[in-house]
Structure 1
Amino acid sequence: MAERGAKWPWAVLALAVLGIWLYERGGDSATPSAGAPPAASAPAPSAGTPSPDSSSTPRGSADYSPPRFVPEVRKYAAEAGVDPQLVMAILFNESYKPHGPDVERAWQKMKPEASFGIANMHRAAYEECRRNRSFAARPWEDLPDDPALAVQAAAWHLHDLGAQLPAKWAGSYNRNELMALGYNTGAGNMLAFARGANPGPEARSYLDRLHDNWAKSGELVKA
């Protein structure tokens, strides 16, 4: 019995990884881009020192649901000058797969281009948004261990996407919708949508989920 108990967590981890694989094989917008695809070369993992304004407190596997991170969403949305309701809705959109250091790193070994953290950020997007920011010294490999860092990076990535939008656009989407589409499909596609291009089925599905998550996200961050 003791030996079976020792192996049980690995069985749970294997099932979680299998669940991610099956979901991402489904063809929905299950592989969010959060910017450009990750770079081909990857620096070795680092045990970077957490910055004073992010939390490195370990959380259990049941503690990764978006409502747990209302304080972080409010704080870093204000820091980045973006709508906290948008940041929270993005976290809900990206909560389709299990989060946590063990499962994320196990999945990344099977799929090296996989994203990290509760906001599902790819390496290239993180490397771009951390430049000249307070978390510039934090490596991408820290994201699974530090949910606060993941929220901070997501907020600044959304800020950077918004900064690329023109003052006026021809498309029917509002600013938050375009930024969410940019988070999912990349800045180039976001700008095309702003010019009036029609999103494909995966992007439309992502936007539909954003709409579904919008009201509860607002209630959480404004409560």
Structure 2
Amino acid sequence: MDSDSVRVPPLRPGGYDPADYADAVARSAEEAGVSPRLVMGVLYNEAYKPHHPLLERLWQWWKPEASFGVANMHRAAFEQVRRTHDLSGRWQDLRDDPAFAIRAAALHLKDLDGRLPARHVRRYTRDELLALGYNAGERNMRAFARGVPPGPMAWSYLRRFRAGRRRAAEALAG
């Protein structure tokens, strides 16, 4: 993937829109075999904080295990994806390379999809469970699939994911 064609998020938080990364989302989702709308929905859910590399470096200084990149990926999740898919980049590269961050997120969603049971409670779509897995981890995703109700933070993530589906679709169509 040509990460040079993908600009870093702006320094000013109000100027960031995940729709700017629609092409990278479409490419990464296709490569990973997941829904582009799922990946874009995750980007919109993770857009609550500024993603400019300088701000993420400052944030890491204050909170060393902070998540990085436009997909807000935690180190443990990234390291698992890196090993599984033999990625050459480092976790720290996520903050400087939006295309790489999106690719890692799409691959992580693919991995979660492979671990999600084929049968699950009907109150959630498969994409909703994958988004919950991205946010709350694989173990919680599998519990939600069995019918365990999400806690307040996961429930909030799910509500925002559902509310942003149209916006994600429009960004990809745009």
TM (norm. structure 1) is: 0.72
- 8 Å CA contact retained: 1:66, 1:88: yes
The structure 2 residue matched to 1:109, chosen from 61, 78, 87, is: 61
Gaps of 5+ in 1: 1-52
Who is 1:72 aligned against? 24
CA distance in 2, matches of 1:54, 1:79: 13
1:167 to 108, 118, 125: 118
Q: Which amino acid aligns with 1:105?
A: R
Counterpart position of 1:55:
3
* Cα offset, 1:132, TM superposition: 4.6
Structure 2 residue ranges without an equivalent (≥5): none
In structure 1, C-alpha distance between the alignment counterparts of 2:122 and 2:169, rounded to whole Å: 24
- Max Rg structure: 1
Q: CA deviation at 1:61?
A: 2.5
Secondary structure in 1 matching 2:124: coil
Structure 1 residue 167: Cα displacement: 1.5
Partners of 1:70 and 1:61 lie apart in 2 by 20
User: Does residue 158 of structure 1 match 2:106?
Assistant: no
Q: Deviations over 1:44-101 (max 9, x none)?
A: xxxxxxxxx1414653425642011000000000000001011101100000001111
Q: Are 2:29 and 2:36, in contact at CA under 8 Å, matched by a contact in 1?
A: yes
Structure 1 residue ranges (4+ consecutive) displaced by more than 3 angstroms after TM superposition: 56-60
Q: Secondary structure at the match of 2:22?
A: helix
> Normalised by the size of structure 2, how large is the TM-score?
0.92
2:158 is the alignment partner of 1:207: yes
Deviation digits for residues 99-146 of structure 1 (CA, Å, limit 9, x no counterpart): 111100101110111101010001110011122536x11011111110
Q: Tell me if structure 2 keeps the 8 A contact 1:129–1:157.
A: yes
- Partners in 2 of 1:194 and 1:68 — Cα distance? 32
The answer as to whether partners of 1:58 and 1:145 remain within 8 angstroms in 2 is no
1:200 Cα deviation from its structure 2 partner: 0.7
Equivalent of 1:179, from 121, 125, 130? 130
Could you tell me which residue of structure 1 aligns to residue 43 of structure 2?
A: 91
Equivalent AA in structure 2 for residue 66 of structure 1: P
Q: Which residue of 2 aligns with 1:129?
A: 81
2:28–2:103 contact (8 Å) kept in structure 1: yes
**2:164 alignment partner, SS class:** helix
The aligned amino acid for 1:61 is L
Considering only aligned residues, what root-mean-square deviation do their CA atoms show, in Å? Answer: 1.5
Contact kept, 8 Å, 2:7 with 2:98, in 1: the verdict is: no
Give the fraction of aligned pairs with identical amino acids, expressed as a percent: 51
